[in-house]
Each structure stands twice: as C-alpha cells, then as structure tokens.
Amino acid sequence: MTVPCGVRAPLVATLATLVLGVLAAGLAPGAARAEIATQYQVETDLTCQCGCGLTVHSCNHLNCGSGIPLKKEIGEQIAQAKTRDEILSHFSTKYGEKILSSPTTSGFNIAAWTVPFVAIALGGLFIGVVLVRWRRFTDGPDAAAGVAPPSTTDPDLKAKLDRALAELDRRS
C-alpha cells in the first residue's frame, strides 16, 4: 500500500500520539514501583471518605471523621516500613477501589488511561483523511493540469448588462 505524500505527515503524527498514549498509560501513577512510602504521598493517593471529594491530605473539614483516622492509620502503616503499593493495596482491600484517588492500571480501569489518547489519535487521523480528500476534491485533475475552467458568461446577458449600465450613466 502506498501512502500519498500529503497523508504521511498526519499519519506519522497520529501514530506518534497513539504510541505516546500507550506509553503514558504504562507509566501512569500507581504503576508498580516498590518505594518507601511517605505520609504525604499516601495521603494524596487516597480519597477522603467524608464526602468532600478531596484527597486525605487536602480534606479541609475540621475534626473530619474520616480524614483524621485515615491519617493515623497511614502513619501506622509507614511505621511498619510498608511500601507505598502495600499501603494502597491495604486501603483498597479495606474500603474498595473508591478510596483510590486515581484509577488503577489494571482490568477495566485501563480504559480510563487509554481511551482519551486513542480518541485523540482517531480524531487526528479522521481530520487528516478528510483534509487530504477535501484538498484532492477541490483541486481536481483540471487544476493540476493548468486548464482553465470553461467560461460561463452568456454574450446576450453581457450585452443586456452593458445597456443597463449605460442607461444608468445617462441618468446620472
């Protein structure tokens, strides 16, 4: 299959966007990394369960019935020298996936990471194809050969217009 020269640039750009999207999905937050957890990191990875919709670290409710115990439990987990992934796994098991502030990169949640990039890539590809076809349609084979389009002026209409303009000039 040969690709016309005008299609190569959009096609390469679309493929590059798609590859970057897949790579970004693999490097998303929460990807498997064994590291010693800090209180701040874990608090920003968990959503407060009081209904505020903020992370445990950002919850601004005084005497929050959810945030304060979660912070204490995070501190206990860190004191046991657990890694960030182990702590997040513990809370995910205890409260369900709803406690995680970002979707995991496994199972159905992988769509949350990949669908936006795939949609952008497909949209770019669609626009590229439409522009190439549109250009090919508007240029046409005659425009490329340098042939002028046939004249559409009618000599009788031109004479009638000239008479009408001359009449207007006389009245002025």
Structure tokens at 3: 């690709």
Q: pLDDT at position 126, please?
A: 97
Inter-residue contact 113 to 103 (CB < 8 Å) = yes
Neighbour tally for 25: CB within 10 Å: 19
Neighbour tally for 152: CB within 10 Å: 5
> What span, in angstroms and rounded, lies between the C-alpha atoms of 33 and 10?
36
Query: How many CA atoms lie within 13 Å of 95's alpha carbon, on the beta-carbon side?
Result: 19
What is the identity of the amino acid at 145?
A
Q: What's phi and psi for 142, nearest 5 deg?
A: -70, -35
DSSP-derived secondary structure letter, 83:
B
Structure tokens at 6: 């005008």
- The pLDDT averaged over each successive group of 10 residues in the chain (172 residues) is 54 60 51 63 90 89 90 91 90 89 78 90 96 78 57 80 91 79
Structure tokens at 121: 């890539």
Structure tokens at 41: 């990191």
